[in-house]
Structure 1
Amino acid sequence: MAEMTTVAESLSVEYQLSKAEKQKIIFLMCTVLLFSVMNGTMFMIAVPDIARSFALLPSQVSWVVTGYIIIYAIGALMYGKLADIYPLKNLLTIGLSLFAIGSIVGFFAPNYSVVILARLIQASGASSIVALAFIVPTRYFPEARSRVLGIVSSTMAFASGIGPVIGGFIAGALNWQFLFLISVFVVITIPFFRIWMPQEEKKEGKVDILGAMFIAIAVATLILFITMFDWYYIVVSIGFFSLFAWRIFTSEIPFIRPDLFRNGAFRTTIISGFFAIMTMFGMMFMLPLMLSEVNGLNTLWIGLTLFPGAMAAALTGKWAGVLTDLRGSKPVVYLAFALMILGFFLLSTFIGGPGWVISIVVILSYIAFPFLQTSTANLISFALPRNEIGVGMGIYNLFNFMAGAFGGAIIGRVLDYEVGLRINPFSIAEGTGIIYSNVFAGLIIVTALNGGFFYLALRKNELIKEGSSAN
């Protein structure tokens, strides 16, 4: 009922776009989102080639990925906050321009330092796309936000899966520098965004620059700690998070209002979404390693093995949105958890089997992704007041990226240990496959506990609201 009221309120004040205009905007957003997400996964495949080109150590070449993730995560939060004040078409124009400039610089990079600079510029622009892709449905299509969020989520899942395939093909057939060239084409969409997106006025409000600096440094050092496990970074991160907390309670116009986290539905969704995305990205991080080590597949065949899962996620995203519209956000979150648990169980069981078997069973885990992202993003959009949806979605994206970093780092360390005991009694895994089977069994436990937390926390929040209404 609350969701219907919010939609009605939004329709009374929002832009009345024609069906053709909506389709054009959705097509544009999904096109640039595809490039934005692919840009991250393509370069993961190219890291060994870049290392050979510049004679780099693994710790040095890792900055191609780590630097991108840091700026991407911070940028998603910053653009989300700016979206509450500035017109979306202006933010996208700036973001797409930076994305294209970084791509051109990277293609002509004469040395590794310029490659890193190019990746940072790319990330500063590409992060605008993922941030605004979750805001556009709420602002322009309030009556169809669930369906559009489903399309956005399926695009992200598809891009994550297809990125390694395209990256491996281009880096192998041409050169890793041509991966930069692909992203230059986003600049073509800028005139169309300028024409087709609604004209907006700048809203009241200012950005707390000092607060933004505190949270940016805190997040950057936290991600560095996650990826490098140097205790110096976590100390610095805690220090700047403390400064940020002080700032939001003392500033007249804080970067993030502290009462945002007192919203029970928002807080629960952010926490539960963090652990869900952590397990999903942990799975995506682990699958290529497993297929290489256990099945002996090369980069191209790994990409082809995972491709059906990415395609399935792309095709089911629309239905995730439709189901969210029909049943509400929470039942779809539970469905996503169920798909994850079943998918993790099948992977844990069939590790060591033929690649085509893995290709089939991984589909369930992949299609859970659009259901999870659509429902959680939709829940947040209804939980927050209209003037805080931008920063709320920014926080949502920030936590998603940090969850991805956590998932990869934690699972990477777990895989260092040798274990001979199978947790899953149905598993056919042998030798090195046993540890992978056990990790997937662990992901089942984490997902089940997360689902229980999500249910109990939201139930408690509903009871508190009912009690307050009665009083």
Structure 2
Amino acid sequence: MNISYSQPTLQHNQVLIWLCVLSFFSVLNEMVLNVSLPDIANDFNKLPASTNWVNTAFMITFSVGTAVYGKLSDQLGIKKLFLFGIIVNCFGSVIGFVGHSFFPILILARFIQGTGAAAFPALVMVTVARYIPKENRGKAFGLIGSIVAMGEGVGPAIGGMIAHYVHWSYLLLIPTVTIITVPFLIKLLKKEERIRNQFDIAGIILMSVGIVFFMLFTTSYRISFLIISFLSFLIFVKHIRKAPNPFVDPELGKNVSFVIGVLCGGIIFGAVAGFVSMVPYMMKDVHQLNTAAIGSGIIFPGTMSVIIFGYIGGLLVDRKGSLYVLNIGMAILSISFIIAAFFIEATPWLMTIILVFVFGGLSFTKTVISTIVSSSLKQKEVGAGMSLLNFSSFLLEGTGIAIVGGLLSVRLLDRRLLPIDVDQSTYLYSNILLLIVGIIVISWLVILNVYRHSRRIF
């Protein structure tokens, strides 16, 4: 009896260990290059609009891939998809490292990395649901969530140290560590029954074209790119209304509360992601800090604070309600950005404190957005709805990074707008911070207006 009980328990623990490894490196891959963007810009003599594509390229395929892998898990089985994702991710890493001196190769490698890394968040949750006993799933999800938060936290510190003391190109090789999980996943994951179903390839292509050209518009501001993007999305919307198994369920678009929650939540996440991508440029231009100092001293404390704030936010939602936590989170974000805009020339360590509160406010807001979006869905819509929330969040984070890169390059906001005595070199950063505040406040008011009548949510 002891043997029959201990063996499955040991197998469950082993599966969980390797899922944690994959989860850690998926978010580390997303965060680790952010702090090196100014170094990459200097090496290639590129403007931020082009350089930020190092992150944007990854986020595009990562967001689309997350949705694709989730839909394919029933048709192809999670084992094959996991192995495919790991191999593609490692392949992209090697291509990027070998060809890092050629900018187009670097961007291509990040596209490939995102395609592979997308398998990890999409399939980890499915694997937990299928392999971990029901009574242990809560602990498993909690452990994976903590590992993800830790990966987000240490990413900037690791990235800054390696980029400063070695070279940023070596950061591209970090995801190759995931190759060690392959033999264990082959052994531990079982062969699964497949569910035959149509897959909406045309929908994925149309949406991807629309996304890529919109991103190109945000970095170059060519109207032709915007027109192509608009037409692609228009055809995509018409397509999903007729497709038998559409990539995005058009019925979700009729749920106004859900749509507003997803869009406004994604816009807030994108604004913060854009700000975080701007911090390395800002710290180098205004305070002349090196990459290691930016990663470890400026960004690292903020990313690590997510673990604490996430726990506090969950407790407050249960005790005080979502509206209370939403208002606190949005107020923290708005005040933090206003202080940053007015005191950008103060000691650089003020930005360390500001980032702690920015990530804290973001953590509160993410908790609430997930709660209110899930509460606006019917039981049968929860799976598709929450997948769409994750997809849009990743996508709009990439969009925010691209837009901020464009604003730093075209310098439309490089003029004095604040009635304070600041150096001319800070005008651009201060004005972008004020723009971010405006976006956040508008999104906040829209969410409140839509959800204030629903006691079921708040």
User: Deviation digits for residues 251-305 of structure 1, max 9, x if unmatched?
Assistant: 2222222101122332121012122112211321232222222222122221122
Does the aligned pair in 2 maintain the 1:149–1:378 contact within 8 Å? Answer: no
Q: In structure 2, what is the equivalent of residue 34 of structure 1?
A: 24
Q: Aligned partner of 1:100: which letter?
A: C
1:368 aligns with 2:364: no
Q: In structure 2, what is the equivalent of residue 356 of structure 1?
A: 349
1:271 aligns with 2:263: yes
What is the alpha-carbon distance in structure 1 between the residues aligned to residue 13 and residue 257 of structure 2? 31
What is the alpha-carbon distance in structure 1 between the residues aligned to residue 421 and residue 153 of structure 2? 26
Paired residue total: 444
Out of 397, 403, 416, the position equivalent to 1:404 is 397
User: Deviation digits for residues 212-260 of structure 1, max 9, x if unmatched?
Assistant: 2212222222222223322222222112112211211122222222101
Q: In structure 1, what is the equivalent of residue 92 of structure 2?
A: 102
Out of 118, 128, 134, the position equivalent to 1:127 is 118
Does the aligned pair in 2 maintain the 1:350–1:358 contact within 8 Å? Answer: no
Q: 1:126: how far off? A: 0.7
Q: Aligned partner of 1:91: which letter?
A: L
Equivalent position SS for 1:432: helix
Q: In structure 2, what is the equivalent of residue 187 of structure 1?
A: 179
Query: Structure 1: any 5+ residue segments left out of the alignment?
Result: 1-17, 466-471
Q: In structure 2, what is the equivalent of residue 445 of structure 1?
A: 438
What is the alpha-carbon distance in structure 1 between the residues aligned to residue 140 and residue 331 of structure 2? 23
What is the alpha-carbon distance in structure 2 between the residues aligned to residue 328 and residue 148 of structure 1? 25
What is the alpha-carbon distance in structure 2 between the residues aligned to residue 341 and residue 198 of structure 1? 48
Does the aligned pair in 2 maintain the 1:106–1:119 contact within 8 Å? Answer: yes
Q: 1:183: how far off? A: 0.9
1:454 aligns with 2:437: no
Out of 192, 204, 207, the position equivalent to 2:199 is 207
Equivalent position SS for 1:294: helix
TM-score by structure 2 length? 0.80
What is the alpha-carbon distance in structure 2 between the residues aligned to residue 172 and residue 461 of structure 1? 51
Q: 1:366: how far off? A: 1.2
1:77 aligns with 2:73: no
User: Relative to structure 2, which stretch is displaced further, 57-66 or 69-78?
Assistant: 57-66
Equivalent position SS for 1:254: coil
Q: In structure 2, what is the equivalent of residue 333 of structure 1?
A: 326
Q: Aligned partner of 1:79: which letter?
A: Y
Mark the CA change 1:179 to 1:258 in structure 2 (over 3 Å): closer, same or farther.
Answer: same
Does the aligned pair in 1 maintain the 2:219–2:403 contact within 8 Å? Answer: no
User: Deviation digits for residues 70-112 of structure 1, max 9, x if unmatched?
Assistant: 3223212322333465544543332223212322343444873
Mark the CA change 1:387 to 1:233 in structure 2 (over 3 Å): closer, same or farther.
Answer: farther
Does the aligned pair in 2 maintain the 1:134–1:377 contact within 8 Å? Answer: no
Does the aligned pair in 2 maintain the 1:134–1:393 contact within 8 Å? Answer: no
Pairing 1:131-170 to 2, within 5 Å after superposition: 131-132=122-123, 159-160=151-152, 162-170=154-162
User: Relative to structure 2, which stretch is displaced further, 446-455 or 64-73?
Assistant: 64-73
What is the alpha-carbon distance in structure 1 between the residues aligned to residue 320 and residue 191 of structure 2? 33
Q: In structure 2, what is the equivalent of residue 420 of structure 1?
A: 416
Mark the CA change 1:155 to 1:353 in structure 2 (over 3 Å): closer, same or farther.
Answer: farther
Equivalent position SS for 2:418: coil
Q: In structure 1, what is the equivalent of residue 279 of structure 2?
A: 287
What is the alpha-carbon distance in structure 1 between the residues aligned to residue 421 and residue 442 of structure 2? 26
User: Relative to structure 2, which stretch is displaced further, 298-307 or 108-117?
Assistant: 108-117
What is the alpha-carbon distance in structure 1 between the residues aligned to residue 10 and residue 142 of structure 2? 19
User: Relative to structure 2, which stretch is displaced further, 98-107 or 43-52?
Assistant: 43-52
What is the alpha-carbon distance in structure 2 between the residues aligned to residue 378 and residue 138 of structure 1? 20
TM-score by structure 1 length? 0.78
**CA RMSD, 1 decimal:** 3.9
What is the alpha-carbon distance in structure 2 between the residues aligned to residue 353 and residue 428 of structure 1? 12
Mark the CA change 1:358 to 1:316 in structure 2 (over 3 Å): closer, same or farther.
Answer: same
Q: 1:176: how far off? A: 3.5
What is the alpha-carbon distance in structure 1 between the residues aligned to residue 52 and residue 31 of structure 2? 13
Out of 233, 240, 263, the position equivalent to 2:232 is 240
Taking only the aligned residue pairs, the percentage that are identical comes to: 28
What is the alpha-carbon distance in structure 2 between the residues aligned to residue 378 and residue 365 of structure 1? 20
Equivalent position SS for 1:97: helix
Q: 1:319: how far off? A: 3.5
